[in-house]
Chain A
């Protein structure tokens, strides 16, 4: 490893360290239990990772823009509860756009605080994590929300349906990843997100509307959260108030695992998707191996830290660094 140069095979290693780590884990689990790579298991894992994945897509924009979003977990609970409640009151055709509008409003509020008022995103979104949780509980009165007539509605399509044999959550995750991947890599807006996150002051002096870009990243994040909430609600047709609790950290882990810098300015949608899949497959793989579940927490995070290390090591060409 110490002799890696940025050319040829070594160059690929350096750029795709996380991808290689991913392949190593997949092969390892497949040897441990061959059902791991059975088609229905792979589909199952991607489908259940899709909810986390869709949220991670939005957070990728926020993180590249140099900010954090810790509110996505409780915002997802909010979307899920709201759409389930409105489903029985307004019908699915109105409930879905209404839920999206409300969730986007929350995103706009956070975007306003962080973008235009320049408040620290860690504090704002940490506060919103609790505030939105309270909002959700106020909305539901703390009760579980369930669709009364589960068989008489088409609402289950987004979570349980499939098109040409591919489950809808996978299609939505893939579709959104493709669109957002293009937005980030190929549009002026995408370049502005990198510019703002890389060096905000320089971006401002170059005429990039920093506040508006940051605001838009939070809107995008809220849109992704609303989509995730829709998938979640549609998949289980009922939910408790804490359905998204703790997901903000898993989302952040997936984004960072994909190689986005917490300091902003770097990361890609593709690598976030790999990060999401690593998380999903580790959890599933450990279940299939049948490891004692107390040990699973330890092993999961050991693997994640190992993956991050491999990624960093490949980038700098050596396993350890005497300078920070």
Chain B
């Protein structure tokens, strides 16, 4: 069951009634407020998978909301869901800090909150029942390992120079992936230098511009780590235009269809395979487990394996 924001406002009473009824039967009502559906294919696929998973489960009723990337709207949506007395709330934070008061309010109203995909800041952890999502720090570390292993194969791990194109500044996913990469790289490849990091804002065009500047600035670039494949392909385009793509190892995260294709074409080396379907299903399952009183780890990660040109046959091409 998918409801738009406006429809939810108009039918608040009706749904509160449903939630009230729910507490007397065995079905549970789970509300979700998402970050920004439609801004990219990952979030779009996530929403579709979430709705499909909820529909397949007779025990679950959902109220599906989308904040459209707007913090204020997300806080209002949290308050609406609290008013509706849903049994649990899943939130995909638009901002890791600003939503904390709303999360606290839900928690104080006795509604367990499950954070999905990107965690909120640590000072809000007391009010969160569980976080379901990818481990971005591990993803960053794994990207560093992919990069390092490739350099070793090429025999340049003693002198390689790497640039990093990170995600949107201030966004937890961006910060954690960069952190994982920056911490792991010197452990596995101590002689590889990370020469510069600039943000590509999750945007392919922006990333292409950043890479163009890097190519002008540095004559010797052996590897590019991008916070996701969308930006990675932007960087690849820039390197191709400059005729230097062949000298560079491209490693990303969140394998996109374009990244997968570029890997198949031999232009792009590796990434981290993260399925929005797994992400959505894990969030819903976590919420159900919490409501059933089961023991759920606070950081409930789903696995996101390494994918490179060598093992890509084991994975289906991402749908986004």
Contact = CB atoms under 8 A, between A and B. Distances in A.
A242 B39 contact: yes
B196 A241 contact: no
A188 interface: no
Contacts of B237: 235-236
Contacts of B257: 144, 146
A288 B216 contact: yes
A287 interface: yes
A268 interface: no
A236 B208 contact: yes
Contacts of A232: 205
Contacts of B212: 44, 48
Contact of A160 (B41, B234, B241): B241
B209 to A, nearest CB: 5
A32 B294 CA distance: 60
A165 interface: no
B209 A142 contact: no
A270 B258 CA distance: 39
Main secondary structure of the interface of B (DSSP, over half): helix
Interface string A134-149: 0001000111101000
Contacts of A300: none
A206 to B, nearest CB: 44
A243 B205 contact: yes
B312 interface: no
Given A143-B41, A143-B320, A238-B204, A40 B216 contact: yes
A235 B38 CA distance: 22
B18 interface: no
B40 A240 contact: yes
A250 B153 CA distance: 44
A215 B38 CA distance: 32
B210 A287 contact: yes
Interface in B206-226: 208-210, 212-214, 216-217
A152 interface: no
Given A144-B230, A240-B41, 19 more contacts: A48-B212, A141-B44, A142-B38, A143-B41, A143-B45, A144-B41, A144-B256, A232-B205, A235-B208, A236-B205, A236-B233, A236-B237, A240-B230, A241-B40, A243-B204, A243-B205, A290-B196, A293-B169, A293-B199
23 contacts: A38-B216, A40-B216, A41-B216, A44-B213, A48-B209, A143-B44, A144-B230, A144-B256, A144-B258, A160-B241, A232-B205, A235-B205, A235-B208, A236-B208, A236-B233, A238-B204, A241-B38, A242-B39, A284-B209, A287-B214, A288-B216, A288-B217, A293-B199
**4 nearest A-B residue pairs (beta carbon):** A142-B44, A142-B38, A287-B213, A137-B38
Interface of B: 37-41, 43-45, 169, 196-199, 203-205, 208-210, 212-214, 216-217, 230, 233-234, 237, 241-242, 256-258, 320
